[in-house]
Amino acid sequence: MIDFHGRKINYLRLSVTDSCNLRCKYCMPECIQESCKKERLSIEEMKNICSVFISQGIDKIRLTGGEPLIKKGILDLIQYISSYPQVKDIAITTNGLLLEEMAVDLKKAGLKRINISLDSLVPEKFFGMTRGGDLSKVLRGIELAEKIGLGPIKLNVVLINGFNDDEIENFVDLTRDRNIEVRFIELMPIGEVANWSLDHFISNEEILRKVPQLQKVNKENISSPATYYKLPNSKGKIGLISPITCNFCENCNRIRVTSQGYLKHCLHSNEEFDLKAVISNKDSIKDLIKQATLSKKLRHQLEEGNYISRNMVQVGG
């Protein structure tokens, strides 16, 4: 297993594309230059990279984007990863627009769990923040994913001052009678939208202020970035992810690969290692993994105002 200062790196987040069918304001500028096809990893190259990581002890893989469900061959990649018995968990993070039509096939391919990015329960607000998203399609996809067992479902809610802070109680209420985990994530200053994010930042402490009946519960996984709470007698739970006001670096167990094949040891670092340049040599891939892990810092430097230059959609956050 990959060693990092005495801790184990066992979690790979692989971005399969930097393209997306939405244009969320905190994720990307309205006009963004996407990479061309030849710059991106092919499905076969992703399989090759995953096989090396798995051989090095990675047993949890999450596919991200951009929007991973628009990637041609995504079902083939999931089926390939799930064929490794040592992979305990394979998950995906999606905006949910294509979930209704793909959920059953995702389950058949071997997908275990799904996270949906959902920042408003109001159709007009959702449409505005995503620059065109259809909330009804997302909600139908979530219901189907619940029904077929792609869960427990996690909803990732980026907390945005002046936008969805008035919906906190509505999101929390989703956990009363459904086995759903709502995860409030502090807005992170990343890429070209860093200044926009800083202007709209609000601390996760606002959730506890607005819903004081939330009760803290123990983590099931120490490496989870969330601190967990529950309403009394609720089926689901609330997770607070606070990279700005309370970083979770000391328990980080993850490493990232972008859709262009750059290995990132930390979401909030500009340091990258080019796996695509050595894609045909598994020993060289292993060497780069080791080099990247040894370069991984003990904590990010967001508090010092050091933000990465890439946009979130390019990194696969």
Give residue-wise pLDDT tens across range 105-124: 999 999 999 999 999 999 99
265 three-state secondary structure:
coil
Residue 225's pLDDT band (cuts 50, 70, 90): confident
Q: From start to end of the chain, where are the E strands? A: 2-4, 7-9, 11-15, 60-64, 89-94, 113-117, 153-159, 180-186, 215-217, 226-230, 237-241, 254-257, 262-264, 273-274
Tell me, what's the pLDDT at 253?
86
For residue 315, the model assigns a pLDDT of 67
Q: Has residue 236 got a pLDDT over 90? A: yes
- The residue extents of the domains of the chain are 2-315
Confidence of residue 286 (pLDDT cuts 50, 70, 90): very high
pLDDT of residue 36: 67
Rounded-to-integer distance, Cα 50 and Cα 47, Å:
5
Q: Residue 304 pLDDT more than 60?
A: no
Location of structure tokens 């690969």: 257
Q: How far from 8 is each of 129, 255, 293, CA to CA, in Å? A: 37, 11, 10
Determine whether 122 is exposed, middle or buried from the number of CB atoms within 10 Å of its CB (0-12, 13-18, 19+).
Answer: middle
Cα(40)–Cα(38) distance, integer angstroms: 6
Task: Tell me which of 271 and 63 has the higher pLDDT.
Answer: 63
Residue 192: pLDDT band (50, 70, 90) is: low
Report pLDDT digits (tens) over 198-222.
788 899 999 999 999 999 999 887 7
Give residue 270's pLDDT: 78
Give the DSSP letter of residue 140: H
pLDDT at 99: 98
- How many angstroms separate the CA atoms of 296 and 107, rounded? 34
Nearest partner of 197 among 227, 158, 157, 247, judged by Cα: 158
CATH code, 2-315? 3.20.20.70
Overall average pLDDT of the 238-242 stretch? 93
**pLDDT over threshold 70, residue 244:** no
pLDDT at site 151: 84
pLDDT computed for residue 73 by the predictor: 98
